[in-house]
C-alpha cells in the first residue's frame, strides 16, 4: 500500500514543564569503546528516564560521519579514543559510566522543571518526503533574559551496520545503530530565537522545512527540536551552553520516542512489558498479510522467531518464552506486506 497523503499532527512537548534532558555524544562505527556507552544509554538511562533525548553524533571517520553539522563531533570530542558525551550542553566529559548515570539522575533531580515550553505542528508528505514543522516556543517564567537559540535535527534509528568493539563492549556485523544524527538542519548552533527579555504568554513562532533523504527509512526517522541559552560572547563550543527544553517525535507518526511504526496493516501489543518471565505479543491484523515476527537483541542478534507465514485478518496471540534471555532491552520486529513495526521489550 502506497500512502500519498500528507500526514499532519499537532504535537506537544513530552511533558510540558518537566525537563527532557538532551544528551549529545560522539561515536563512530570504528570506535571499539562506543558500544558500551550505547548500552548504558539504551539499557540504563532510557529505562530510568524514557523522556531523555539522545543524539549520536558520528565522527568524520565513521560510516555515518557525513552529515550537515558534523563538526559537532569535533566540539564534543575530548581528544581521546573513547566516546564523549554532553548533558544539556552544560555538563561534559563525566569520567566513568556509573558517574555518567549518576550525573544524569542528579540533573533530573535538581532541574525538574523547564522554563520553556515547546509546541509543534508537523506536516509530512511521504510522496515528496518533505517535512515541515511549525514551532511555538513559550517562556514559562515571568521573564527570561539572555540570548536563546533553537536547533532542529533529524535522527534515524534501527540501522543495521558493522560496529567495531573492544571487550567488554559488544559490536559485530549486525549491530543496530539508533539515534544517528542525519542532519542538523540549521547547523550546530541553530538560529536565534530571541535576545531577551522573553516574557510569559508570548510564544515565538518558527517554521522549518527539510527533505528526508531517499537513503533514509522515513518511518525510522525522528525529528528533534531543542532550545538553549547562549552564554555571553561569541559562539565557541556546544559545551558552553544550557539547553532549556527539547522535544522528539516521529517523522511519519504521532508523538512518541520509543516505538517506531510504519504504515503496517496491524497493531502489535506486548504485555506484560517489562516482563520478568513469559510475555505475550498480540497482533491485530486488519487484512490478510504475510507476517514475520522476530525478537532481536540490541546488538542485532536474532534470539527468537515467532511466526513466518501468511495470516488471515484477525487477532493472534504469541507466547514468548524468556527463559535463557539475559536481562535488558530487546526489539520486537514485525514485517508485513505493508511495512515494519518495531517495539521495545524490556526483560527484568
- What tens digit of pLDDT does each residue of 155-189 get? 999 999 999 999 888 999 989 999 999 999 999 98
* Percent of the chain predicted with pLDDT > 70: 85
Q: What is the pLDDT of residue 83?
A: 75
Contact between 97 and 219 (Cβ < 8 Å): no
CB atoms within 10 A of CB 231: 14
Mean pLDDT on 252-270: 56
Weakest-pLDDT range from 45-59, 157-171, 218-232, 330-344: 330-344
Q: What is the pLDDT of residue 260?
A: 41
Q: Which of 30, 46, 174 is nearest to 38 (CA)?
A: 46
What 3-state class would DSSP assign to 335? strand
Which alpha helices (H) appear in the chain, and where do they start and end?
A: 34-40, 46-48, 72-76, 97-110
Q: Give tens-digit pLDDT for 262-290.
A: 444 557 888 888 888 889 999 888 888 88
Q: Give tens-digit pLDDT for 104-115.
A: 999 888 887 899
81-102 b/e (C-beta count within 10 Å ≥ 16 → b): eebbbbbbbbbbebeeeeebbe
| More confident call, 7 vs 214 | 214
Q: Give tens-digit pLDDT for 114-131.
A: 999 888 888 889 999 999
| More confident call, 138 vs 92 | 138
pLDDT tier at 13, thresholds 50, 70, 90: very low
pLDDT tier at 80, thresholds 50, 70, 90: low
Contact between 190 and 152 (Cβ < 8 Å): yes
CB atoms within 10 A of CB 192: 12
Please classify residue 312 by burial: count the beta carbons closer than 10 Å to its beta carbon, then call 0-12 exposed, 13-18 middle and 19+ buried. Answer: exposed
In whole angstroms, give the CA distance from residue 135 to residue 183. 18
Handedness of CA 67, 70, 73, 74 (dihedral sign): positive
| More confident call, 337 vs 247 | 247
What 3-state class would DSSP assign to 42? helix
Please classify residue 280 by burial: count the beta carbons closer than 10 Å to its beta carbon, then call 0-12 exposed, 13-18 middle and 19+ buried. Answer: middle
- Check whether 255 has a pLDDT greater than 80: no
Cβ neighbours of residue 290 closer than 8 Å, sequence gap 6 or more: 309, 310, 311, 335, 336, 337
| More confident call, 323 vs 11 | 323
Mean pLDDT on 228-232: 85
Task: Provide the 8-state DSSP code for 231.
Answer: P
pLDDT tier at 259, thresholds 50, 70, 90: very low
Q: What is the pLDDT of residue 231?
A: 80
The DSSP secondary structure of 21-35, one letter per residue, reads -EEEEEE-TT-TTHH
Contact between 110 and 167 (Cβ < 8 Å): no
Mean pLDDT on 232-242: 69
Q: Which of 203, 204, 201, 191 is nearest to 230 (CA)?
A: 191
pLDDT tier at 24, thresholds 50, 70, 90: very high
Q: What is the 3-class SS of 107-143, one letter each residue?
A: HHHHCCECCEEEEEEEEEECCCCEEEEEEEEEECCCE
| More confident call, 190 vs 77 | 190
Strand order in the sheet with 314-320: 266-271, 279-285, 314-320
- Check whether 70 has a pLDDT greater than 50: yes
Residue carrying C-alpha cell 488471515: 312
- Check whether 225 has a pLDDT greater than 90: yes
Task: Please give the model's pTM, rounded to 2 decimal places.
Answer: 0.70
Mean pLDDT on 310-318: 89
Residue carrying C-alpha cell 527570561: 144
Mean pLDDT on 14-29: 81
pLDDT tier at 7, thresholds 50, 70, 90: very low
Task: Provide the 8-state DSSP code for 6.
Answer: P
Write down all domains in the chain, each with its CATH number in brackets: 7-250 (2.60.40.10), 264-347 (2.60.40.1930)
CB atoms within 10 A of CB 150: 22
What 3-state class would DSSP assign to 52? coil
- Check whether 334 has a pLDDT greater than 60: yes
To the nearest whole number, what is the mean pLDDT of the chain?
Answer: 83
pLDDT tier at 345, thresholds 50, 70, 90: confident
Amino acid at each position: 500500500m502506497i500512502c500519498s497523503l500528507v500526514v499532519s499532527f499537532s504535537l506537544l512537548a513530552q511533558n510540558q514543564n518537566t525537563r527532557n534532558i538532551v544528551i549529545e555524544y560522539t561515536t563512530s562505527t570504528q570506535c571499539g569503546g562506543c558500544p558500551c556507552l550505547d548500552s548504558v544509554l539504551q539499557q540504563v538511562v532510557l529505562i530510568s528516564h524514557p523522556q531523555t533525548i539522545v543524539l549520536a553524533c558520528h565522527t568524520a571517520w565513521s560510516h555515518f560521519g557525513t552529515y550537515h553539522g558534523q563538526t559537532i563531533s569535533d566540539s564534543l570530542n575530548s581528544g581521546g579514543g573513547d566516546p564523549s558525551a554532553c548533558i544539556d550542553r552544560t555538563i561534559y566529559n563525566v569520567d566513568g559510566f556509573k558517574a555518567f548515570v549518576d550525573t544524569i539522575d542528579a540533573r533530573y533531580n535538581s532541574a525538574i522543571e523547564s522554563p520553556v515550553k515547546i509546541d509543534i505542528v508537523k506536516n509530512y508528505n511521504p510522496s515528496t518526503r518533505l517535512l515541515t514543522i511549525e514551532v511555538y516556543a513559550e517562556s514559562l517564567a515571568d521573564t527570561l533574559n539572555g540570548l536563546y537559540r533553537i536547533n532542529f535535527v533529524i535522527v534515524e534509528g534501527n540501522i543495521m551496520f558493522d560496529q567495531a568493539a573492544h571487550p567488554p563492549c559488544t559490536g559485530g556485523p549486525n549491530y543496530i545503530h539508533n539515534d544517528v544524527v542525519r542532519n542538523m538542519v540549521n547547523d550546530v548552533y541553530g538560529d536565534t530565537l530571541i535576545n531577551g527579555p522573553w516574557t510569559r504568554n508570548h510564544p515565538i513562532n518558527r517554521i522549518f522545512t527539510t527533505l528526508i533523504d531517499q537513503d533514509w527509512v522515513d518511518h525510522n526517522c525522528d525529528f528533534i527540536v531543542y532550545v538553549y541559552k547562549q552564554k555571553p560572547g561569541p559562539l565557541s563550543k556546544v559545551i558552553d551552553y544550557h539547553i532549556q527544553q527539547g522535544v522528539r517525535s516521529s517523522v511519519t507518526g504521532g508523538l512518541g520516542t520509543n516505538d517506531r511504526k510504519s504504515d503496517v496493516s496491524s497493531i502489535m501489543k506486548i504485555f506484560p512489558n517489562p516482563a520478568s518471565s513469559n510475555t505475550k505479543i498480540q497482533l491485530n491484523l486488519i487484512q490478510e498479510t504475510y507476517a514475520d515476527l522476530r525478537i532481536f537483541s540490541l546488538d542485532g542478534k536474532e534470539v527468537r522467531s515467532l511466526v513466518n507465514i501468511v495470516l488471515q485478518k484477525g487477532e493472534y496471540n504469541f507466547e514468548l518464552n524468556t527463559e535463557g534471555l539475559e536481562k535488558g532491552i530487546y526489539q520486537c520486529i514485525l514485517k508485513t506486506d505493508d511495512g515494519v513495526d518495531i517495539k521495545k521489550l524490556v526483560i527484568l
